[in-house]
Amino acid sequence: MAVLPICKLPDPVLRQQAQEVTEINGKLQGLIDDMAETMYAAPGLGLAANQVGQLHRLIVFDVSHKEGGPRKPRVVLNPCITAREGEIVHEEGCLSVVDFAAEVRRHARVVVKGQDRQGKPIEITGEGLLAVVLQHEIDHLNGILFIDHISRLKRGLYLRRLKKQAAAR
């Protein structure tokens, strides 16, 4: 397994839509393992393939590790939110949006359908933090970042700071 470089804003790959996974092979399995290793090394709660420059509809996540439990990485290929309800406001950060966090309004409960790493159909019901992580990572696959869910003013301030930092380098 390898720790992959994480793409950072303003990398254009973060704004692209990922493509459906149609072939499950050794290369994809290696990417899944590398993404899990990268997520833990970062450290993060989830990682979408776009974040490592791969446009596959693939996410890895592990919220149990944050709560002090052992590592239990989970994988969803071609994830799709099929049901959503309630509302939660949660502070989010992102491995691709450096040095910034903000409160984001999301659904409190979601149902996600997709496939496991062998291609078998799975359904995950997430509430609270798990619901937030699932929505955040699926957004990535659609080219959406958590900063797209905050006010234009806050987003603008962050983007100006990012440009200023890039110009200073």
Question: Catalytic amino acids?
Answer: 137
Token pair of 84 as six digits: 């959503």
List residues bridging with 103 in a β-sheet.
91
In what helix (H) or strand (E) does residue 83 lie, and over which residues does it extend?
strand 74-85
- Please name which of 145, 137, 23, 26 lies closest in space to residue 76, comparing C-alpha atoms: 137
Whole-angstrom Cα distance, residue 137 to residue 58? 9
The distance of Cα 47 from the centroid of its chain, to the nearest Å, equals: 4
Whole-angstrom Cα distance, residue 148 to residue 124? 25
* CA-based torsion, 48, 49, 55, 58: positive or negative: negative
